[in-house]
Amino acid sequence: MDDRAGAQARSKIEKIESLLNPRNVVIVGASDKPGNWSPRTWRNLKRYNFPGPIYPYNPTRDEIWGERCYRSFAELPEPPDHLVVLVPAPHVPALLREAAAAGARSATIITAGFSESPDPKRKALGEELRRVAEETGLAISGPNCLGNFNASASLFTLPDDRLQQFVAGPIAIVAQSGGIVLALKRTLEERGLAAGMLVTSGNETGLTAADYIAYYAQHPAVKVVVAYLEAIHDPPAFMAALRSAKAAGKPVVIFKLGASEEGRAAAAAHTGALAGSVEAFDAVAGAAGAVRVKNMDDLVETVEFLVHARKPNGARLSAITYSGGMRGLITDAASAHGLKFPALSEESRKTLEPHMLPGATINNPLDGGLGAAGGVDGFLRSVEVYLNDPGFDILLLQEELPREPGSRRAEQVLRTVNDLAGKAGKPVAFISVLSYGLNDYCRELRTELPNLAIMQEPDRALRAIRNTTDYYARMAEPEVPPPAPNPEGKRILAELLSGSGPATLDEVASKRLLAAYGILGPKEALAANAEEAAAAADRIGYPVVAKVMSAAIPHKSDMGGVILNLRNADEVREAFRKIAAAVAALPDNPGMDGVLIAEMATGGLELVLGAARDSEMGPVLMFGSGGVGIELMKDVAFAAPPLDERTARALIARTKVGALVKGYRGKPPLDEAALVKALIGLSSLICDAGEALESVDVNPFLLREQGGVALDGLVVLRR
């Protein structure tokens, strides 16, 4: 981070500090009209003992709620510090300027009616508000938000009448939806997971989710950051915030809405059609430290494991259950989420034998309820053996929190295992058969078990554990340094970008650029007429393929623009005429630059290499099964550039076609090294092109036992 960026980051941290730790609060738009949110905010600040003064503000009132109401900032007994703004949107910009001039440092704008509206006047009002934030330096959360919460400062500006827990817990939340975040806060509290700080960021006209994540990353009380996101408003700052959290060892658990339908519809390349914002988010943000979950229940289970369980050293599971049925549920859930139960070591097996009933099967997972002799003592001895076995990274146990006193066995097991887990170097999680609600007795007992993850329902629990083990595995991987610039590639890029006309390159220009990065095509030549096509085929050697050449026709086979396996000059001439006729028959006939005659490459595996620019995450690289069925099969995986050999091989391994590359069911392995070289070359092209690259589609890339060849190529630039 350069000095300027560092100064900006420090400035935003100071702003959020002022937002969440104000000296006083001014409720702007104080009203006693039925349904108005200002009295709720007033009551909550009083109820939770905000230590500073609270000033109602309304230019038309002298008294409200039995308190003095101030008509101007000048009347206040001290400079305003934090504003909770509940006045109509058109009045907000001028009011903020006035407040900033009077000394205000921050504002929470609950008022809606800005850029979230399709009305051009409202969008213009949002832009004016943005200018106010920049000119005044005010720390602004919102507009169109629902307030904020900071337990350590006794600050609660959300207009929610339900009783809240005020515990300075290890979880910090930022959400772009106020309604969602309140439901999330209640559910976390129900599970005994305390959120110490919470911000509803709304439209993010001032501060963004990235700023709050960066603030939480440096806060000593925060262990896990939680985010509910609908859009990334400042992608570079967002990535920098994730890297800050990664450096601080703080997971950022994110529920992210939506895939970019507009981006897919506008994409000319297959990669753009297959990569929505979710896939790009996983590839780019995941590598930087994000843990994306699929739903809000998964978010709760993942946070539970991250807060209470030790950091796992791997993903090898062990389990002890009381029920053969539960053993089956856990085994199935683990298999569904790609987790394994290694065999118990021989030493552990021998240690367990004296504690098992005659004829009991000793395995992993262990049905300890039926197999252990000595009841609870036998079960706990089994726990010790599994914790001490170096072949396992995580121990799963069957239990739920008792709902009332009297369950001595369950409470003894929970408390004793909590003590064992505190001394062990492995995470321990108890998992219930079904989801269940907690009462006060459950929650009180839960506070006595800080070393245990208490998780619900095997499928959710194992998915959360997979989220966590994947996160720690990614965080342990070294970052790939940017590649050295490719001089020839940069020269060709500069030449192509200097031209005019369509930014979609034809196949000849696309392959020329790809070749500079080591992604080579077959022998081929461009023909302007049927006779030139026949002569080119004679030089190349039969059989050949004929393909229409036009930047306006990116997907040639869809319109009959590709004819295969031409074996003599007459067939080549006829193919040229057919392709020309097919182009002429297209609506708004785009014309063609000629027909490309290329050697007919056979005998390999059709793959796809691609890249696309996501509107939020920037460039993302794709690999998978290619050919005409690519969008039907969708056997593809994504990664953030740059790639090196390790990350390229990992990308290949995440696809089903990766097994075919290595050789499957007796077939010989293909040239994976050539494929890795091509992926690294594509990664280098992405890095060299930067913002100028929109998408790349190499489909098919034919991989053989020796070498690989790009049979087709499409590059889309941003001139």
Domain map of the chain by residue range?
3-250, 310-476, 487-493+506-599, 605-717
Contact 122, 145 (CB under 8 A): no
pLDDT in tens, 69-83: 999 999 999 999 999
- SS3 for 280? helix
Q: Say which CATH class 487-493+506-599 falls into.
A: alpha beta
Is residue 105 within 8 A of residue 81, CB to CB? The reply is yes
What gap in Å lies between CA 338 and CA 514, rounded to an integer? 36
We find that the CATH architecture of domain 3-250 is: 3-Layer(aba) Sandwich (3.40)
What is the reported pLDDT for 305?
98
Q: How many other C-beta atoms lie within 10 A of the C-beta of residue 312?
A: 21
* Domain spanning 605-717: CATH superfamily: ATP-grasp fold, B domain (3.30.470.20)
Helices H / strands E in the chain, number of each: 26, 29
Report whether pLDDT(39) > 60. Answer: yes
| Residue 654: burial class (beta carbons within 10 Å; 0-12, 13-18, 19+) | middle
CB proximity list for 324: less than 8 A, separation 6 or greater: 367, 370
- Predicted TM-score of the model (pTM): 0.88
Band (45; pLDDT cuts 50, 70, 90): very high
CA distance 662 to 656: 11
**pLDDT tens-digit map of 651-688:** 999 999 999 999 988 789 999 999 999 999 999 999 99
CATH code for the part of the protein at 310-476: 3.40.50.261
pLDDT tens, residue by residue, 210-225 = 999 999 999 999 999 9
Instruction: Decide if 310-476 and 487-493+506-599 have a common fold.
Output: no
pLDDT tens-digit map of 340-369: 999 999 999 899 888 777 777 788 998 876
Q: What is the 3-state secondary structure (H, E, C) of 236-265?
A: HHHHHHHHHHHHCCCCEEEEECCCCHHHHH
Residue 704 class from Cβ within 10 Å (0-12 exposed, 13-18 middle, 19+ buried)? middle
pLDDT tens digits for range 511-562: 999 999 999 999 999 999 999 999 999 999 999 999 999 878 877 888 899 9
The closest of 26, 86, 16 to 56, measured between CA atoms, is: 26
Rounded Cα distance, 276 and 254, in Å: 17
Contact residues for 556 (Cβ-Cβ < 8 A; gap 6+): 547, 548, 562, 712
